[in-house]
């Protein structure tokens, strides 16, 4: 039997990554959720009745009136509890709390009071709740000026704007992939949590990186200069810097690609530098006959470059969970490359009449036991 998991807020920053990662599991059935379920008692009841586990991520983080934040977040919790009670449903609810819980603000108070409501429900109705206190999170697809300072800096730098540092303090951060791994460990009951009441548990998730805001900004500016300016991949051996670079890449404007190479030609022929890196990786090439398409897969952590040096190609990308397809047309007469963002399925098709020659660079040598390659048509 598959474990049935629902994620409220599955369209949000953390929800997207958690939902899409769980989707890769063969032993989990995801129960779809839409925000409007909170306004429809029947739909919300049907949702909770189907779930073995509910990860409650839906919440309001920012509003000009803090009272609206408090009222909204408590209403979402109350509606979810009411639906469980009316259907006699007892799922394991994972509640996304915040390190703001103990601070004197209404957002933090909404998290604290919401947790208490879930604890009372678990005690009175035989359900189970685990509260996960989350630190500052960063990663691809975060909303600038909303989710994190990293998202704001990445967006502004990639789009040629100059970020402002208001307070150059040290911030504690966790990468979204690491956070999702912890959530899944709790779902699978493979990690110990502290008891805080009858059928109620808690886990305080600590940041795994502490770094000054100015250091983040310096790294991102270096990525802009080296990567966007000169096509150079940075050193990806340190986990935080690899995570930050993969985050930055997802804010590079679509029209940055394809990037044309500098072609050096003399009587012997031509020379083109495909990729300059400060890290290890794997280079390869392929030949493709006319009308054939390669790829249709995506990665969750790998950095990859497709370089067309001969023939005509169509490279397509689509962010997982969306329908918008980005098309790039490349011609070997003007060699160019496109880099593949993580969580974007991609392919390459020979649209010419001659053989297509493509060179590839990826930052990790292929490992069949941990390929980080998931197939999905663009």
Which residues are known catalytic residues?
107
CA-atom Rg of the chain in angstroms: 23
Of 10, 62, 67, the closest CA to residue 33 belongs to 10
Interacting residues of 322 by C-beta distance below 8 A, sequence separation 6+: none
Integer CA distances (angstroms), 174 to 107, 137, 160, in order: 20, 5, 26
Q: Which residue has the tokens 């009745």?
A: 49
What tokens does 82 get? 């009411």
* Burial (0-12, 13-18, 19+ Cβ within 10 Å), 168: exposed
Q: Tell me if 315 sits within 8 A of 325, measured CB to CB.
A: no
Handedness of CA 108, 111, 116, 119 (dihedral sign): negative
């Amino acid at each position: 039997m598959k474990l049935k998991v629902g994620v409220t807020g599955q369209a949000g920053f953390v929800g997207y990554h958690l939902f899409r990662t769980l989707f890769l599991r063969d032993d989990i059935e995801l129960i779809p959720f839409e925000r409007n379920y909170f306004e429809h008692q029947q739909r919300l009841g049907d949702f909770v009745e189907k779930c073995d586990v509910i990860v409650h991520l839906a919440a309001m983080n920012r509003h000009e009136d803090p009272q609206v934040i408090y009222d909204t977040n408590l209403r979402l919790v109350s509606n979810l509890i009411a639906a469980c009670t009316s259907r006699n449903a007892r799922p394991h609810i994972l509640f996304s709390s915040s390190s703001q819980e103990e601070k004197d603000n209404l957002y933090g108070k909404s998290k604290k009071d919401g947790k208490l409501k879930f604890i009372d429900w678990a005690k009175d109705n035989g359900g189970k709740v685990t509260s996960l206190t989350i630190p500052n999170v960063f990663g691809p697809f975060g909303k600038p000026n909303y989710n994190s300072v990293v998202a704001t800096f990445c967006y502004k730098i990639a789009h040629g704007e100059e970020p402002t540092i208001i307070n150059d303090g040290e911030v504690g951060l966790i990468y979204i992939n690491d956070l999702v791994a912890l959530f899944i460990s709790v779902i699978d009951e493979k990690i110990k949590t502290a008891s805080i009441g009858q059928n109620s548990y808690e886990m305080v998730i600590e940041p795994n990186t502490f770094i000054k805001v100015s250091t983040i900004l310096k790294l991102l500016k270096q990525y802009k200069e080296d990567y966007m300016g000169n096509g150079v991949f940075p050193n990806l051996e340190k986990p935080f810097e690899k995570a930050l670079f993969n985050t930055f890449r997802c804010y590079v404007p679509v029209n940055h690609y394809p990037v044309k190479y500098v072609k050096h030609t003399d009587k012997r022929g031509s020379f083109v530098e495909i990729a300059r890196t400060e890290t290890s990786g794997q280079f390869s090439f392929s030949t493709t006959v006319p009308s054939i398409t390669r790829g249709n897969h995506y990665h969750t952590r790998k950095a990859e470059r497709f370089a067309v040096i001969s023939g005509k190609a169509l490279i397509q990308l689509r962010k997982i969970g969306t329908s918008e397809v980005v098309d790039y047309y490349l011609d070997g007469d003007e060699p160019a490359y496109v880099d593949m963002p993580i969580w974007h399925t991609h392919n390459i098709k020979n649209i010419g009449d001659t053989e297509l020659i493509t060179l590839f660079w990826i930052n990790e040598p292929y490992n069949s036991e941990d390929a980080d390659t998931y197939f999905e048509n663009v």
